[in-house]
Amino acid sequence: MSGTGSETTGMGAAGATLAPGGRGGAWRERGRLVVMTLGPILGALVLSGLLLLVLGVDPLAYYGYVVERGLLSPYGVQATFTRMGPLLLIAAGLIVAFRAGIWNLGGDGQFLLSAVVVAALAPLLAPLMPVWLVLLAALLVGALVGAAWSLLPALLKAYQGVNEIITTLMMTFLGVSFANVLVKLFFRDPTTTVPQTRTLPVADRLPRLFDTTVSSGVLIGLVAIIAVHVVMTRTAFGLKLRIVGANPRAAVHAGLNVPLLTVLTFALSAGLAGLAGAVEILGVQGNVRADWNPAYSLTVIPLVFLARFNGFASIAFVFLFSVLSIGGESAARRTGVPNFFTLVVVAILLVMLGVTEYLDQRRRAAGR
């Protein structure tokens, strides 16, 4: 999967050089890409609109609220950017894993455990050292906790070939429950009635950008996802991971240490998910309430697929999703549609993308 994802552009280029049309062929190729990208989005909006009509909601009003709140209002757009931070980090982690052929679906457990540990740790450290050091230590610990939670699936996959889809999902169940146990029994703030961790003072959180409410988490996210993109496409290490992902037997044949690379992939992927948890706590939440689980990882998975594991396209899709989700919260309140409708739109988008891909393949086959 990662192979096809990563090499699509190469194939496209080869196809273009083979095409006799020359410049015309290149333009047609570009047009095709635009249609392939925008077509599914428009289709999904139209289909979701039809669904809204069925629900008795004016789709234009709904989309209007979404855009107004998620994109146009100053407060909304800042919330959108803030939301992007952890999502980008999770997306970066997923790209590493998926390109290496590892289906790490345990991001939510890794995210949440890291969030809980960071939420417990940061208020304890805050009085002891300067803010920047607290933040740095908390981010590091968050990444380590996330990575640690993937160790078992990683070892099972690397040395026993146990399917990581199952083990990582199971570890998520354990991780989410364990995080709750930690909040309720060990890290509980004694001064509150609802079970939650102690709250990190706003002054000790990740700095905000300029004069806005946008958390600098989004910068960490952007740096991480671009770094991941560059590593995966331009470096020897990334190439090794992609070889393992595309053809593990070829990796063995080429003398790569497949078990070690597998464990590293897990560690990087889960570490980034853990970092996302830390960023969410240090930048947005400040504490973890019991039973809190935003399930970001599972929602980001389709976005990364839509982006075909491309870092830059992932930024675009994460942005789109953040607009939909921030705006959707407001639109949902105002139109009476459930909050989850955002996920419905994403799901329809995914289906539309599959359909477009299928039609494109048929068209190519027919043209040959």
In the shown chain, the binding pattern of residues 13 to 32 toward another protein, with x for contact by CB under 8 A and - for none, equals xx--xx--------------
Work out whether 51 is an interface residue with another protein (CB under 8 A). no
> Smaller CB distance to another protein: residue 199 or 257?
257
Q: What is the DSSP letter of 129?
A: S
In this chain, which stretch among 80-88, 244-252, 275-283, 341-349 interacts with another protein, using CB under 8 A? Answer: 244-252
CA angle 6, 9, 11 (to 5 degrees): 100
Place of tokens 């004069």: 211
The site for another protein, by CB under 8 A, has a size of: 28
Angle of CA points 184, 218, 178, to nearest 5°:
20
Burial, 56: exposed, middle or buried (Cβ in 10 Å; 0-12, 13-18, 19+)? Answer: exposed
Contact 274, 144 (CB under 8 A): yes
Count Cα neighbours of 189 within 13 Å in the Cβ-side half-sphere: 21
- x/- mask, another protein, residues 88-107, rule CB under 8 A, reads --------------------
Among 28, 234, 363, 364, interactor with another protein by CB under 8 A = 234
Alpha-carbon span 60 to 267, nearest angstrom: 44
Contacting residue, 227, 252, 260, 347, with another protein by CB under 8 A: 252
Nearest 5°: CA angle at 323, between 73 and 272?
125
- For position 249 contacting another protein by CB under 8 A, the verdict is yes
Q: How many CB atoms lie within 10 A of CB 36?
A: 14
239 part of the interface to another protein, by CB under 8 A: yes
Work out whether 159 is an interface residue with another protein (CB under 8 A): no
Does 240 bind another protein (CB under 8 A)? Our answer is: yes
Instruction: Answer yes or no whether residue 254 interacts with another protein by CB under 8 A.
Output: yes
Q: Is residue 364 close enough to count as binding another protein by CB under 8 A?
A: no
Choose which of 256, 284, 290, 351 interacts with another protein (CB under 8 A). Answer: 256
Q: Please return the burial class of 249, using the count of CB atoms within 10 Å of its CB with bins 0-12, 13-18 and 19+.
A: exposed
- Spell out, one character per residue from 214 to 233, where the chain touches another protein: x when CB under 8 A holds, - when not: --------------------
Residues at the interface with another protein (CB under 8 A): 3-4, 6-7, 10-11, 13-14, 17-18, 234-237, 239-240, 242-243, 246-247, 249-250, 252-257
